[in-house]
Structure 1
Amino acid sequence: MLAFLVTGGRLSSRPAQADDGSWYMGVSVGASKSAADAAELDANLAALGYSTTSTLDDTDIGWKLFGGYQWNPNLAVEAALVDLGQVTSRISGNFGDLDAFVADVARVHPYSARGISASIIGELPVAQRFRLFGKVGLFFWDADIDARFELGGQPISFDSKQGVDPVFGAGVKYHINKKTALRVEWKRYEIDRDSVQLFSAGVEYRFP
């Protein structure tokens, strides 16, 4: 929908964007990537007396469900339920006592996480229907580390941790109409030992 204005005797157009004081909700899906490093994991285990060779899968599917309130064209607050997937490793080497090794891995293995974020968002119109935005806030996260021994046995959950750390990001939004917008964004979640980046695309719906 376009609202037309006559300015200086010329016809111009303005995109129909959301009114001030509106609630919205949406969903985004994308790829998460941890800053964890296999060489660093091996170095940390070496410091504990182990000789290991590790491989690390630091990417996974991430998603979030979000909702917020737009105070005015330039300011909003937003909360989101976030899942950053998993960081998976395969470790081989000389372990000695397996129970002690498992406990020591829990001390140094990178986390990924799930949780709830709360952010303040600043927006800037840059073209018809397009807005740039930046956000900063806190991430209330929960993480688990599970182990599976290849020579038999069930998965063992041997560490769980919660924390509160900063989150920040930026993106671009395209208003299809007054109620619906598409967004592409990047966010970085600080999680205790490492950070996780989420690159996502999603849709946002505003209520009247």
Structure 2
Amino acid sequence: MKKAVLAVAVVSAFAVPAFAETNLNPFEDSKSGFYLGLGLGAADYDDSYSTAKDFYNEVGASGTLKYTTRDAAWKVFGGYRVNKYFGVEASYNNLGNPDADFYPSNGRSIVETEAEIKGYGLKAIGYYPINNSFELLASVGALKWEVEEETKGTSFVTGRSAKFKSKTEKGTSLTVGLGANYNLTDNIAFGLQWERINDVGDKKLAFGETDIDTYTLSAQYKF
């Protein structure tokens, strides 16, 4: 997995910039050029808070664990379109703030955990034009992510809260995606994309380690 991620990052980082200037791009066509965009949508967590679930099961804790399986997500991105068939894109991704609440059966307290997931992505994109307005796309890349997590406990009896721990884990994951674009004009396009980010998180976190699927509706402007 690490070798695959490294290979994608190296190819994406060094294969295209040589053609970034118009006069150096031998593959230039009407689609060539730089673009910026914004995407809004949702992130689905395949197995969120797996470590917390395992911990409470192992210690035999009596109570109820409620946790987030989907949260809002967004990204800002920019890239260079080599031609109508190929491009490269970089992005900043906010993958949501999934949380988990454990309610002990005695009803006297609550343990709350919240995670913030974000990262920087780089990917290569292949396009398949259907006509002048519609095109399909597929992508492969890497996302350098960071998960910041905070856990605290609150007593319903005293009303006091206490922070138990804060943790931060970082890593890099392979990403794959599929989608479609609708070109409203030569400069403005709207897109719909699904993307899978593999193995985000760590077993050291209550959030655990899980695949994340994102679904985004985006708008972009080509310069």
**TM-score for both structures, normalised by structure 1:** 0.76
User: What's the secondary structure of 2:56's corresponding residue?
Assistant: helix
Residues 1:90 and 2:94 aligned together: no
Q: Equivalent pairs: percent with the same residue?
A: 22
User: What's the secondary structure of 1:177's corresponding residue?
Assistant: coil
| Closer/same/farther in 2, CA of residues 63 and 157 from structure 1, 3 Å limit | farther
| Closer/same/farther in 2, CA of residues 52 and 39 from structure 1, 3 Å limit | farther
Which residue in 2 is equivalent to 1:206?
A: 222
Give the counterpart letter for 1:46 in structure 2.
N
Shift of 1:140: 0.3
Which residue in 2 is equivalent to 1:71?
A: 82
**Deviating 4+ runs (over 6 angstroms):** none
User: What's the secondary structure of 1:86's corresponding residue?
Assistant: coil
Among residues 7, 29, 36, which one is paired with 1:25 in the alignment? 36
Which protein is bigger by CA-based radius of gyration? 1
Which residue in 2 is equivalent to 1:162?
A: 170
Give the counterpart letter for 2:146 in structure 1.
D
2-structure distance, mates of 1:164, 1:145: 18
2-structure distance, mates of 1:188, 1:110: 22
C-alpha contact (below 8 Å) 2:114/2:151 kept by paired residues: no
Give the counterpart letter for 2:173 in structure 1.
D
Among residues 24, 44, 47, which one is paired with 1:36 in the alignment? 47
The alignment of Structure 1 onto Structure 2 pairs a total of residues equal to: 180
Shift of 1:42: 2.3
2-structure distance, mates of 1:19, 1:30: 30
Shift of 1:155: 4.7
Gaps of 5+ in 2: 1-28, 106-110, 202-208
**TM-score for both structures, normalised by structure 2:** 0.71
2-structure distance, mates of 1:31, 1:87: 11
| Closer/same/farther in 2, CA of residues 132 and 28 from structure 1, 3 Å limit | same
